[in-house]
Amino acid sequence: MQRPSPQAVIAASLFAFALIAASVASFAETPQPVAYSHRIHVTDNKIDCRFCHSSANKSASARIPPVEKCMSCHRVIATDRPEIKKIAQYWREKKPIYWNRVTELPDYVYFPHMRMVNAGVPCLTCHPGMDRADGAVQKREFTMGWCMDCHKKRGVSIDCWTCHI
């Protein structure tokens, strides 16, 4: 068998590298209208996730806090920082902040946050590293096998209809 030419080897490895780079890049932080840092809030100031994502234990979606919630603290805290000024601007103009979505499940998956949170699954199980991220980043791929593993370990339903309605 003929050995592959060095060019082909280089091209193949470049291609592989590009693939890996692309898959790593998909875990990169999504740019947001306001540079929000989870690290400062969660790790440095020990604010519970559910203080801002206040519906996580009540409804299917964890919810993103309204500008009002940001302002409830930032009317007095760090008011001179440029990013906080941006939020204040939204607040004055009575406009919502259009955050870019980072974590999204396909339409055919029925995922109620409340069931997981009330069952005592820590937020970081599905959102690892979020507490240390400067921004919002999704490091875990939500594959069905991964969900099933967890369900099996906890001995909860793995009936198809539990998640696919």
Contact string (CB under 8 A) for other proteins, positions 29-68, x = contact: -------------------------------x--------
Contact string (CB under 8 A) for other proteins, positions 146-165, x = contact: -----------x-xxx--xx
Which of 42/116 has CB closer to other proteins?
Answer: 116
Which of 133/163 has CB closer to other proteins?
Answer: 163
Residues 6+ apart with CB under 8 A from 80: none
Instruction: Tell me the closest approach of the beta carbon of residue 126 to other proteins, in angstroms.
Output: 18
Contact string (CB under 8 A) for other proteins, positions 104-123, x = contact: ---xx-x-x-xx--x-----
Which of 80/159 has CB closer to other proteins?
Answer: 159
Is residue 96 a contact residue for other proteins (CB under 8 A)?
no
Residue at 161: amino acid letter:
W
Which of 33/112 has CB closer to other proteins?
Answer: 112
Residue indicated by tokens 């902040």:
97
Which of 92/164 has CB closer to other proteins?
Answer: 164
Q: How many residues bind other proteins (CB under 8 A)?
A: 14
DSSP for 137-148, written as a single string: ---S---HHHHH
Q: Nearest Cα to 56, choosing from 128, 123, 131?
A: 123
Q: Nearest Cα to 154, choosing from 116, 128, 112?
A: 116
Q: What is the DSSP letter of 44?
A: I
Residue pair 117/63 in contact by the 8 Å Cβ criterion: no
Residue pair 163/110 in contact by the 8 Å Cβ criterion: yes
Total Cβ atoms within 10 A of residue 147: 17
Query: What is the contact surface with other proteins in residues (CB under 8 A)?
Result: 60, 107-108, 110, 112, 114-115, 118, 157, 159-161, 164-165
